[in-house]
């Protein structure tokens, strides 16, 4: 773990305890008393709370009481960090002045302090992570509620006292304060010493005008459609089957077909992402190389419409399930490109794929298919390509190997539970292509990219 620097400490202080006086933290402040910088003990506790949150270091009250200057904070914190470094003997204490907890050791791979078997220390890093995970459902509901109350929007212009914030949000003051206090513990909002709340960099993602914000994702994950099947995740894990039909008695697509409101929401959610990135993706993939393109599982046709508008000589097919294909008719017409596109209501798993395209484009569809279904769809496309040499262009996840963070690994479980599909590693893709008569031509980047294949 990196040591705490003065710059980082100042940054934490500014972000979580505020700028006490204009410019107070500029210049050589390392040995200046916090009180002379305008910070009282409550403000210091905020900073210490963040150090605990970000570094997993729990300083005792007694130690905190002794820390009067930034240098004293740095010395104490870096003493613990130093003790955790791999070169240091493995036995160490969790609390700086707490003699009671000695059964800890350092995990050399993460630098985190982990309890010995049988000893649970609620304040250690792993303990906290597990408590957080065990309470994850509640935390999700808290963040969702704060999102719906538009707290991030209300605080966007500056901090507000809780009574004013509650008034603007239309909430019960004390209850809102309690829920906010919980979120502040996680760094989502921050509470000042006098019941004044302010936003944080994390909360920016909750503002409703943020094009990269997470409000739509929160709402999507909150829907019955996506939330309830997770109650049955054990079924998926035990059988490899999606939990969705067990929960609702129908497949995901059938549910949407019969629930116009949920369908509308999913459409908006899907197009929210698709519309944001369409231009950027078209810049990247140079589809103008092809005179004609078949967009398989093309959804409501927005992406194809953008491609056709960009390349006026291009002609196209769009194939999607019949109820979705109907929507594409409207979108293509709206963009005045319907005369160059043939729309087919069909199933990629059972119906023939149109012949004659120079490229077969399949974006965000294979992740919904099991390997067996994916192979079937690929063979179907391979049959349509025949010996024309047309390209197959798949846009999908390429999961990062090992233990690296990749949001796709979470979505992979979504695919399992909701659709019985999966996200894939590069090796998984190579396996699928080699079994179905394709060869990958490019080196896709991890997370999300275009996989360009030629028939073999």
Ligand X SMILES: C[S@@+](CC[C@H](N)C(=O)[O-])C[C@H]1O[C@@H](n2cnc3c(N)ncnc32)[C@H](O)[C@@H]1O
Contact flags string 304-343 toward ligand X, x per CB under 6 A:
----------------xx--x-------------------
Q: Which stretch binds ligand X (CB under 6 A): 61-69, 107-115, 133-141, 297-305?
A: 297-305
Q: By CB under 6 A, how many residues form the interface with ligand X? A: 16
Q: Which pairs count as long-range contacts for 313-317, CB under 8 Å and 24+ apart, including other chains?
A: 314/287, 314/288, 314/290, 314/340, 315/291, 315/340, 315/341, 316/292, 316/340, 316/341, 316/342, 316/357, 317/292, 317/293, 317/341, 317/342, 317/343, 317/344, 317/354, 317/357
**Secondary structure of 378-429 in HEC code, one letter for each residue:** HHHHHHHHCCCCCEEEEEEEECCCCCCCCHHHHHHHHHHHHHCCCCCCHHHH
Contact flags string 106-145 toward ligand X, x per CB under 6 A:
----------------------------------------
The residue behind tokens 């039909």 is 245
Alpha carbons within 13 angstroms on the beta-carbon side of residue 241 total 9
Nearer to ligand X, 123 or 271 (CB): 271
- Regarding 368 and contact with ligand X (CB under 6 A), the answer is yes
Both tokens of residue 125? 């890093």
Residue 443 CB, nearest approach to ligand X (Å): 22
- Regarding 32 and contact with ligand X (CB under 6 A), the answer is no
* Interface pick for ligand X out of 270, 292, 370, 425 (rule CB under 6 A): 270
DSSP string, 128-146: HHHHHHHTHHHHHHHHHHH
Q: Which stretch binds ligand X (CB under 6 A): 33-41, 45-53, 363-371, 421-429?
A: 363-371
- Regarding 365 and contact with ligand X (CB under 6 A), the answer is yes
Both tokens of residue 27? 């210049």
Please check whether residue 389 is in contact with residue 455, taking contact to mean a CB–CB distance below 8 angstroms. Answer: yes
Q: Report the C-alpha gap between 141 and 162 in whole angstroms.
A: 20
Nearer to ligand X, 120 or 323 (CB): 323
* Interface pick for ligand X out of 154, 235, 363, 391 (rule CB under 6 A): 363
Closest residue to ligand X, based on beta-carbon distance = 299
Q: Report the C-alpha gap between 185 and 199 in whole angstroms.
A: 13
Cβ count within 10 A of residue 304 = 30
Residue 303 CB, nearest approach to ligand X (Å): 5
Nearer to ligand X, 189 or 303 (CB): 303
* Interface pick for ligand X out of 56, 127, 297, 420 (rule CB under 6 A): 297
* Interface pick for ligand X out of 347, 371, 375, 452 (rule CB under 6 A): 347
* Interface pick for ligand X out of 182, 185, 364, 426 (rule CB under 6 A): 364
Residue ranges in contact with ligand X by CB under 6 A:
270, 274, 297-299, 303, 320-321, 324, 347-349, 363-365, 368
């Amino acid at each position: 773990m990196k040591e705490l620097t003065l710059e980082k400490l100042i940054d934490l202080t500014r972000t979580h305890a505020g700028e006490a006086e204009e410019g107070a933290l500029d210049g050589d402040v390392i040995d200046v008393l916090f009180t002379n910088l305008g910070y009282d003990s409550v403000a210091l506790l905020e900073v210490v709370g963040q150090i605990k949150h970000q570094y997993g270091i729990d300083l005792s009250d007694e130690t905190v009481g002794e820390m009067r200057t930034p240098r004293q904070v740095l010395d104490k914190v870096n003493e613990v960090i130093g003790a955790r470094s791999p070169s240091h003997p493995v036995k160490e204490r969790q609390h700086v002045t707490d003699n009671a907890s000695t059964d800890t050791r350092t995990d050399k791979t993460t630098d985190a302090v982990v309890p010995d078997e049988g000893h649970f220390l609620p304040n250690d890093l792993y303990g906290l992570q597990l408590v957080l995970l065990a309470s994850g459902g509640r935390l999700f509901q808290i963040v969702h509620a704060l999102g719906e109350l538009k707290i991030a929007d209300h605080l966007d212009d500056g901090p507000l006292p809780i009574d004013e914030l509650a008034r603007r949000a239309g909430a019960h003051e004390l209850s809102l304060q309690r829920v906010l206090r919980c979120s502040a513990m996680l760094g989502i909002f921050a509470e000042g010493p006098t019941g004044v709340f302010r936003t944080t960099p994390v909360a920016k993602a909750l503002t409703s005008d943020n094009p990269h914000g997470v409000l739509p994702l929160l709402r999507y994950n909150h829907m019955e459609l996506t939330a309830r099947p997770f109650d049955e995740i054990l079924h998926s894990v035990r059988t490899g089957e999606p939990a969705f039909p067990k929960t609702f008695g129908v497949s995901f697509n059938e549910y949407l077909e019969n629930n116009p409101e949920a369908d509308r929401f999913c459409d908006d959610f899907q197009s929210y992402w698709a519309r944001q990135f369409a231009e950027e993706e078209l810049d990247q993939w140079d589809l103008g190389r092809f005179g004609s393109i078949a967009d398989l599982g093309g959804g409501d046709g927005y992406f194809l419409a953008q491609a056709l508008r960009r390349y006026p000589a291009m002609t196209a097919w769009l194939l999607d399930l019949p109820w979705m294909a109907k929507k594409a008719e409207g979108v293509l017409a709206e963009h005045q490109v319907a005369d160059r596109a043939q729309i087919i209501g069909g199933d990629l798993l059972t119906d023939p794929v149109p012949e004659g395209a120079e490229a077969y484009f399949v974006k965000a569809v294979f992740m919904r298919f099991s390997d067996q279904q994916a192979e079937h769809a690929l063979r179907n496309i391979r049959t349509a390509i025949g010996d024309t040499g047309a390209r197959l262009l798949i846009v999908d996840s390429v999961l990062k190997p090992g233990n690296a963070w990749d949001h796709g690994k979470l979505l992979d479980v979504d695919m399992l539970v909701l659709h019985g599909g999966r996200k894939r590693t590069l090796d998984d893709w190579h396996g699928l292509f080699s079994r179905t008569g394709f060869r990958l031509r490019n080196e896709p980047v991890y997370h999300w990219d275009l996989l360009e294949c030629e028939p073999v």
